[in-house]
Amino acid sequence: MSERRVRTRFAPSPTGPLHIGGVRTALYAYLFAKRNGGDFLLRIEDTDQNRFVPGAEEYIIESLNWSGIKIDEGVSVGGKFSPYRQSERKEIYRKYAEQLIQSGHAYYAFDKAEELDAIRKKTEAEKKTFAYDSTSRMSLNNSLSLSSEETEKKISANEHYVIRLKVPANQEINFTDLIRGAVTFHSNLIDDKVLLKSDGMPTYHLAHIVDDVLMEITHAIRGEEWLPSAPAHILIYKFLEWENVMPQYAHLPLLLKPDGNGKLSKRDGDKLGFPVFPLEWKDPKTGEISSSYREKGYYPEAFVNMLAFLGWNPGSVQELFSMEELIQNFSFEHVHKAGARFDPEKTKWFNEQWLQRKSDSELASVLKASLKKEFNFNDDDKRLSDAFLIACVRLLKVRCQFENEFIEKGKYLFVAPASYDEQVISKKWKPNYATFFEQFIEAVSPLQTFTASETETLFKETAAKNNLKPGEVLQLFRVILSGQSAGVDLFPMAELLGKKEVNERLKNGLTTVQNAIASTAKS
RNA sequence: GGCCCGUUCGUCUAGGGGUUAGGACAUCUCCCUUUCACGGAGGAAACACGAGUUCGAUUCUCGUACGGGCUACCA
């Protein structure tokens, strides 16, 4: 085998935002390149001007950046095979298309798109399939069916034409796919694909081959939807006499919708209730905004970890992988052949796992920023001190899957409750409990340190004095302090709040609760 | 329709001629616990079907079914 340096590429067309299937393709190409000490390139395949969407290219680059997929070479970073945008390489492709004509492996075709459409419709009406191929081309309008004089006349008259691949009849085409192994196709089933369009742009079929060879790509990694046209591509390599530099193909299994049928598509995202895009995307035409992993609060580590596992496994029970670990472990032998149904629930679990792996101080600084934003706390507010925030994070994080849940789930750590869970109050409150809480306030008043264990002890002692089981009043204590029926560990919470704050909240809470009880009793 | 690819718990998957078919998510039960979580223990849950090869097939082969992809001067 050759000693070539491994080079892979991701080659999307800028027709809109990249969806997670695209990111996964890029990821696998990146992981494979890095695993083998090679390069990962980004090439933009913008040969179809009609489908060009402004902003899509920037979106693709930003998505890869966010995901931690580093581009060694290509659009946005440059490289020795510049340019990396196919529209800027237009003239390169024509040369190869013409070379194929010279060698007798391609031909000019003058049929109008509308004419072919009409034929197609007609044949379909007869329940047959039309293909522009060895069986039909001699009856169509091209340089094979026409005399060379006629052909030259048409060309010099500037008549529009396309260049088509002349697919030979009755051949077997074999190749080895890195994931699927030996694959065989019959040439009679492949149509004479357009290589160069009438606007002078190449089609994907020609362009990707020319670029892959010129850019010294060793492994062409793409979605399974390309498998049916792969034999045509093999033929083109052969006809261009590039068999020795032909990259190896790997056709990746598709990402399927979680329910229902079909592959995941850009339109599914918000319909299915989970994002299909890495980053937020605003449709330039409709202004519609699509949700995304980054904006929903997913960590790129979790996002990438989840994507890697959709179709690949490490062959071990380890599930949490950093990018570096993915690189170390990636191989095509462990890529599954069947399509993977996307599971939004497991994605959340990955994020939860990565959240728990973050350091408390890192999470505390995130919390600090959102508190400043949410409540406009001053910088010298003691609720923004590192020690306090780290303590909050420790209590909060085990019950969160996302950073952005900290405030939502722990608001009461920072501000006194504005209301109290009515269900708990109406169900559990008894008039004599007021006495208990007052005695508890008394009991803790001499405390200097107000630690969780001290308050807990005093709470239980006070309860005993009142012939109460702690369980009778614990839930009420929580609701009075936090307003909520559920939340972080109670006595550590009290310790965090501090004696003064706890006293205030108890007094306010008792007043509010008693007033509320009194007014409901009246009505 | 034609062609191609695929098929292990609901989902992602491990495995591979003889296994109690393993793990994870989700789900259920129990334990911990004032609560919600976390954590711990356990449960339910799969080799699509039919032939063939074989002493033995979930594993190999062939059919069928089902799923997916492709069938453009789109990628």
Pairing of strands A281-282, A289-290: antiparallel
Q: Which pLDDT band holds residue A476 (cuts at 50, 70, 90)?
A: very high
Question: What is the structure's pLDDT at A516?
Answer: 79
* Nearest-angstrom CA–CA distance, A445 and A500: 9
Q: Give the model confidence (pLDDT) of A217-276 as tens digits.
A: 999 999 999 999 999 999 999 999 999 999 999 999 999 988 767 888 887 767 777 899
How many Å from the CA of A190 to C1' of B50?
Answer: 33
Whether pTM > 0.90 for this model: the answer is yes
ipTM of this complex prediction, to 2 decimal places: 0.95
How far is A315 from A342, CA to CA, in rounded Å? 20
Question: What's the whole-number mean pLDDT along residues A449-456?
Answer: 93
Query: Quick one: DSSP state of residue A402?
Result: S
For residues A174 and A152, give the distance between their C-alpha atoms in angstroms, rounded to a whole number.
36
What is the largest distance, in Å, between two alpha-carbon atoms of chain A? 113
pLDDT attached to residue A260: 63
Distance CA A45, CA A86 (A): 5
Kindly state the DSSP code that residue A143 receives in the 8-state scheme: T
Which residue's C-alpha is at the least distance from the C1' of B6?
Answer: A338
Structure confidence at residue A523 as a pLDDT band (50, 70, 90):
low
Least confident of A95-109, A111-125, A238-252, A505-519: A505-519
| Mean pLDDT (whole number) for A4-24 | 96
Active-site pick, A90, A266, A460, A499: A266
Closest CA to A296 of A321, A282, A277: A277
Scanning every strand, the nucleotide with its C1' closest to A44's CA turns out to be: B75
The confidence score (pLDDT) of residue A520 equals 75
Task: Answer whether A76's CB lies under 8 Å from A44's CB.
Answer: no
Q: Helices marked H in A68-189 — which ranges?
A: 90-102, 113-125, 148-156
Mean per-residue pLDDT, A490-499: 96
> Which residue matches tokens 């009609």?
A50
Confidence grade of residue A508 (pLDDT, cut at 50, 70, 90): very high
Distance CA A69, CA A51 (A): 26
Residue A352 in tokens: 């939860």
Going by the DSSP 8-state scheme, the letter that residue A216 receives in this structure is: T
Judge whether A214 and A246 are in contact, CB under 8 Å: no
Sign of CA dihedral A429, A433, A437, A440: negative
Q: pLDDT-based confidence at A519, cuts 50/70/90?
A: confident
> Integer distance in angstroms from CA A422 to C1' B70?
60
Helix, strand, coil % over all residues of chain A, rounded to 5: 50, 10, 35
A400 nearest nucleotide via C1' and CA: B37
Residue A50 burial by CB count (10 A; 0-12/13-18/19+): exposed, middle or buried? Answer: exposed
3-class state of residue A181 by DSSP: strand
Q: Which of residues 193-252 of A have CB within 7 Å of strand B?
A: 194, 197-199, 201, 203-204, 208, 224-229
Nucleotides of strand B lying closer than 7 angstroms to a protein CB = 1-8, 10-15, 23-26, 34-38, 67-75
Are A211 and A43 spatial neighbours (Cβ–Cβ below 8 Å)? Answer: yes
A 24-63: CB within 7 Å of strand B: 45, 47-48, 51
Which nt is closest to the CA of A202, judged by C1'? B73
- pLDDT score, position A274: 87
The confidence score (pLDDT) of residue A269 equals 66
To the nearest whole number, what is the mean pLDDT of chain A?
A: 94
pLDDT tens, position by position, A299-339: 999 999 999 999 999 999 999 999 999 999 999 999 999 99
A395 neighbors A492 (Cβ within 8 angstroms): yes
Strand B at less than 7 A from CB of A367 = no
**Residue A311 CB burial class (10 angstroms; 0-12, 13-18, ≥19):** buried
A249 phi/psi in degrees, rounded to 5: -90, 145
Looking at this protein, which amino acid is placed at residue A234?
Answer: I
A317 CA vs B41 C1’ separation (Å)? 20
Tokens of A14: 């800028």
Tell me: pLDDT of A413 over 90.
yes
What pLDDT was estimated at residue A173?
A: 94
The model's confidence at residue A515, banded by pLDDT at 50, 70 and 90, is confident
